[in-house]
Structure 1
């Protein structure tokens, strides 16, 4: 388990979010329909905190992962048919393709936080925690004047 500079475990970073940190929200992109896809437009609030290339690469990778999760393949079709045949009890025994990809997204976000964002005073919040409505980015070393 990775240790952050202040001696905190990276897994604990999501639980230690300061309630008064500034937040930037990357909204969903509905230009291609209702599939989970986030806008790659660089938020002006992140100017000077993270490079545009890192941000766009992170968002593009997340968009690709969500596209993979929602793809229709013969494997997903068979998984769904098997679930119907077992009255959905099979879902008690194994994760669905979608759940596996969501776990992969969580690991990717944790890795990006550790290598790119937390060292720059930022932290990505897993969009699953926000109901896949938005991608939240916390600016850790700033407080808003509330």
Structure 2
């Protein structure tokens, strides 16, 4: 089989859920366009894990306060040697989405993109046309 990407059938956007305020949290209701391609429980588990990761990134405990103070004291040069807490979580999200795409979404003809691509406003899911739809 070739590595040619099938044509895009549709793009679906999972919007942010602002009912919890300004924290990054996405809606867990599965769009109708994914019916028949994806189980609702799998979709919900993916979105809930993303929500947990972003909640961890925004967690404002003492560790992040100390990190910020240390960064100020070193004129932010410390970030040449290490990643910030937020950057570490962003890398975790990228790895999580990559693994989910490979194991769950790609076999079903779906690609889930990073919410960072839309400024954390939504999650874009690309639905590819089935092989029989190409003809």
After TM superposition, the runs of 4+ consecutive aligned structure 1 residues lying more than 3 A away are: none
1:68 aligned to 2:49? Answer: no
Gaps of 5+ in 1: 1-5
User: Which residue of 1 is the match for residue 133 of structure 2?
Assistant: none
User: Which residue of 1 is the match for residue 110 of structure 2?
Assistant: 122
In the superposition, the TM-score normalised over structure 2's length comes to 0.89
Shift of residue 17, structure 1, vs aligned partner? 8.7
Shift of residue 132, structure 1, vs aligned partner? 1.0
User: Which residue of 2 is the match for residue 48 of structure 1?
Assistant: 36
Shift of residue 73, structure 1, vs aligned partner? 1.7
Shift of residue 46, structure 1, vs aligned partner? 0.6
User: Which residue of 2 is the match for residue 86 of structure 1?
Assistant: 74
What are the Cα deviations for residues 55-109 of structure 1, in whole angstroms up to 9, with x where unaligned?
A: 0000000000000000012211111000010111212221100000000000000
1:71 is paired with a residue whose SS is coil
User: Which residue of 2 is the match for residue 3 of structure 1?
Assistant: none
Counting helix residues as a fraction of each chain, which structure ranks higher?
2
In the superposition, the TM-score normalised over structure 1's length comes to 0.83
1:105 aligned to 2:125? Answer: no
2:129 is paired with a residue whose SS is strand
What are the Cα deviations for residues 3-47 of structure 1, in whole angstroms up to 9, with x where unaligned?
A: xxx465xxxx9xx695x4410000000001011100001101111
What are the Cα deviations for residues 82-139 of structure 1, in whole angstroms up to 9, with x where unaligned?
A: 0010111212221100000000000000101111100001010011122111100000
Q: Is the 8 A contact 2:6 2:129 kept in 1?
A: no
What is the Cα-based RMSD across aligned positions, in Å?
1.8
Gaps of 5+ in 2: 131-135
